[in-house]
Amino acid sequence: PAGAGGVAVPRAGLKKWTLPPDYSGITIPEKPKLKFMDKVPAVPKVRREPRRLRDIRGPSQVATDFTQGQYGILALGGGYLHWGHFEMIRLTIGRSIDPKSMFAVWRVPAPYKSVTRKSLGHRMGGGKGPIDRYVTAVKSGRLVVEVGGRCEFGEVRPFLDRVAQKLPFPAVAVSRESLQEMRREEEQRRLDNQNPWTFERVVTSNM
């Protein structure tokens, strides 16, 4: 502001700069990009399996927490990933990350479950159809892929969101902090629930 006589008086102030994040404990693996997944499992004899929908029902008990990376894609529902989804994830993330400072790891196995399908126009009967493709079953709450390195969430979120929108089940890009916040809010909603007829009570009481 101008002082006496309309002369601007210079002032010196203190600026509070935010400290950059500490990446001292992060190590980049030898192969930072996602590895290629086989389209067909290497088993000596392939067998046709039943549908077994329990593979995608309910919450996941494995791969629910981060192991190496700081960011990832969390499945919010159950579904099947086929080989095309694996290639989409691998190519999209591989083109977007910098291998010198970032890395990505799979949290789901390669396609292992066989899905049968009869040819178009085939009559009913005649037994189970031949194997059409292989898929990977994913339950709700499971991490599909992890991304880490010397980077912030704002850098990786755009391409993680692009991948999450193309998956065959609802998914969202998360960080370690946002995942903890989501679970904290879920636990708080459970504690604040005033309805006595919860799903857990109905199941345990066999109503």
Q: Average pLDDT over the chain, rounded to whole?
A: 92
At 131-183, the pLDDT tens digits run 999 999 999 999 999 999 999 999 999 999 999 999 999 999 999 999 999 99
- Predicted local confidence at residue 16, as pLDDT: 84
Distance from C-alpha of 3 to C-alpha of 204, rounded to nearest angstrom: 77
Residue 83 lies in a domain: yes
Closest to 71 in 3D by CA, of 186, 177, 174 = 174
CA distance linking residue 71 with residue 176, whole number of Å: 6
Question: Is 38 inside any structural domain?
Answer: no
Give the rounded percent of residues in the chain with a pLDDT score beyond 70. 97
- The answer to whether position 163 is within a domain reads yes
Is residue 2's pLDDT more than 70? no
pLDDT, one tens digit per residue, over 7-22 is: 777 777 788 888 888 8
Place 185 in a pLDDT band, splitting at 50, 70 and 90. very high
Domain count, the chain: 1
92-109 pLDDT per residue, tens: 999 999 999 999 999 999
- How far, CA to CA in Å, does 143 sit from each of 10, 62, 63, 78, 136? 54, 9, 6, 12, 13
In this structure, what CATH number is given to the domain that contains residue 67? 3.90.1170.10
92 domain residue, yes or no = yes
Asked, for residue 159, whether it belongs to a domain, the answer is: yes
pLDDT score, position 85:
98
Least Cα distance to 73 among 171, 179, 178 occurs for 171
Helix (H, G, I), strand (E, B) or coil at 70: coil
For the cut 70, the answer to whether the pLDDT of residue 5 exceeds it is no
Half-sphere exposure of 139 (CA within 13 A, CB side): 14
22, part of any domain: no
160 located within any domain: yes
Domain limits for position 63? 54-118+127-185
Whole-angstrom Cα distance, residue 151 to residue 101? 8
Residue 8 lies in a domain: no
Closest by alpha carbon to 138, among 61, 84, 34, 43? 61
pLDDT of amino acid 59:
94
Place 69 in a pLDDT band, splitting at 50, 70 and 90.
Answer: very high
pLDDT for position 4: 61
